[in-house]
Amino acid sequence: MKKLSLWLMLIIFAGLTGNLSAQELTPPVKAPQADFISQGSSHTLAEYRGKKVMLWLFSTWCHTCAAGVKALAEKHKEWKQHGLIILALRNYNNGGYPGADVEQFIAHYSPPSATRNWVKGEASEEMNKRYNSRQYPDIYFLINEQGVIQEQGTAPAVFIKKIIDFARSDTQKEAVQ
Amino acid sequence: MRLIINALKNVWTLSAYRWLSVSGFALFFILYLMTLPSSFTGGQIGWIALQYLDLSMVILSFIMALLVAFIMTLMVWLIRQGQKSSKASATGGILVGIFAPVLCCSPIIPIIFGSMASLLPSFIGSSGPLFQGFIATHQIELFTIAIILLLLALYQNAKKVIHGNSCHLK
């Protein structure tokens, strides 16, 4: 019991010190540049400068991610109306565990018409290191037109209201002010 | 099966144990109803997860809560009789049933493994997603194991209730 307690304390201590040294993207912060693959070609986040973007990294074995696809697909009219672009990217190597590719996964949980305008692809290793260093099953970033991350979180189905508020916000006007 | 029914009949002669079973069932039924759908909410438990409840989760919650309530009743009876109860299988079954949905898709495992990676970076660092992915894609197997453990615990404790501290003659 004493040895177990000692190990637990070591792990907690390592966790605290590890946390302090881990690179974190704490909003508001400029979104680091990174690339991803979509439809067979490489793209960068810089291409979406001037637009409101939801960058969502997820793994296709994850139930929370399935719920996220459904929840986001249900609000597709909202995203279209307010010009929010959804970058739905599979974690590099699917987060290290095998699973469906991103197109199959999204098609399984939503009607094609609801996700037609999504940018679907796979994150590069570099993007995963910068945006998902802790290897969460899923993580999303709400990036405004100025390329600043305003919000981050996991499980978009749970925080759909925050995403709607971001889509509806006039971030260009806020930047001027 | 007869052993379990007889053990419960023995214990339920007192109304206090009948109430214990009913209240235990109610408590664990609600607990499982709230934790099972949390695999769809990144581990978040509560009202937000309830919208993801489906019939299979309700049935699973019912079965597990029933087994836990019976086990709990028998264990309390055994303890009050001054006998040892069988705890390991029951604990395993209860914990697997509660933690499997919570751990599958929440940030808990990445945070724990990230902390452990400070000590064993090369081994632990990439193990978090493997562990979590395994849990997410083997939920049916995990709940089956949980139910088997609970049935085993129920049988072990029922046997002790029926046979008591009987001596074994060589």
- What domains are there in chain A, each with its CATH number? 25-176 (3.40.30.10)
CB-CB contact of B93 with B147 (8 Å):
yes
For residues A129 and B145, give the distance between their C-alpha atoms in angstroms, rounded to a whole number.
36
For residues A147 and B2, give the distance between their C-alpha atoms in angstroms, rounded to a whole number.
68
- The one-letter amino acid code at B72 reads M
- pTM for this structure? 0.81
| Pick from B75, B50, B51: nearest CA to B154 | B75
Over the stretch A37-84, which tens digit does the pLDDT of each residue have? Answer: 999 999 999 999 999 999 999 999 999 999 999 999 999 999 999 999
Quick check: helix, strand or coil at residue A124? coil
Quick check: helix, strand or coil at residue B169? coil
Cβ-nearest to A135 among B39, B40, B129 = B129
Tell me if A96 and B126 make a contact (CB, 8 A cut-off): yes
Q: What are phi and psi of A33, to 5 degrees?
A: -75, 140
Tell me if B130 and A96 make a contact (CB, 8 A cut-off): yes
Tell me if A15 and B111 make a contact (CB, 8 A cut-off): yes
| Strand pairing class (A52-58; A84-90) | parallel
Cβ-nearest to A95 among B106, B107, B129 = B129
* ipTM, interface predicted TM-score of the complex: 0.75
B32, B38, B43, B47 alpha-carbon torsion, rounded to 10°:
-90
Cβ-nearest to B105 among A10, A63, A99 = A63
Over the stretch B7-39, which tens digit does the pLDDT of each residue have? Answer: 999 999 999 999 999 999 999 999 889 888 888
- The tens place of each residue's pLDDT in chain B, 170 residues long, gives 889 999 999 999 999 999 999 999 999 999 889 888 888 988 888 788 888 999 999 999 999 999 999 999 999 998 888 877 777 777 877 777 777 766 666 666 676 666 666 666 555 556 777 888 888 888 888 888 889 889 988 998 899 898 875 544 44
Domain ranges within chain B, ordered by starting residue: 2-162
- Which residue is closest to B133 within chain A, CA to CA? A97
DSSP A51-116: SEEEEEEE-TT-HHHHHHHHHHHHTHHHHHHHTEEEEEEEPGGGGGS----HHHHHHHHS-HHHHT
Backbone region of residue A155 per phi and psi (left: phi > 0; alpha: psi in -120 to 50; beta: other values): left
Residue A121 at interface with chain B, using a CB cutoff of 8 Å: no
CB-CB contact of A125 with A133 (8 Å):
no
Cβ-nearest to A154 among B107, B112, B119 = B107
8-state DSSP, A32:
P
Tell me if A134 and B114 make a contact (CB, 8 A cut-off): yes
First-to-last CA distance in chain A?
59
- Which residue is closest to B137 within chain A, CA to CA? A61
Q: Kindly state the tokens that stand for B167.
A: 């001596």
A46, A50, A51, A53 alpha-carbon torsion, rounded to 10°:
40
| Pick from A120, A128, A136: nearest CA to A69 | A120
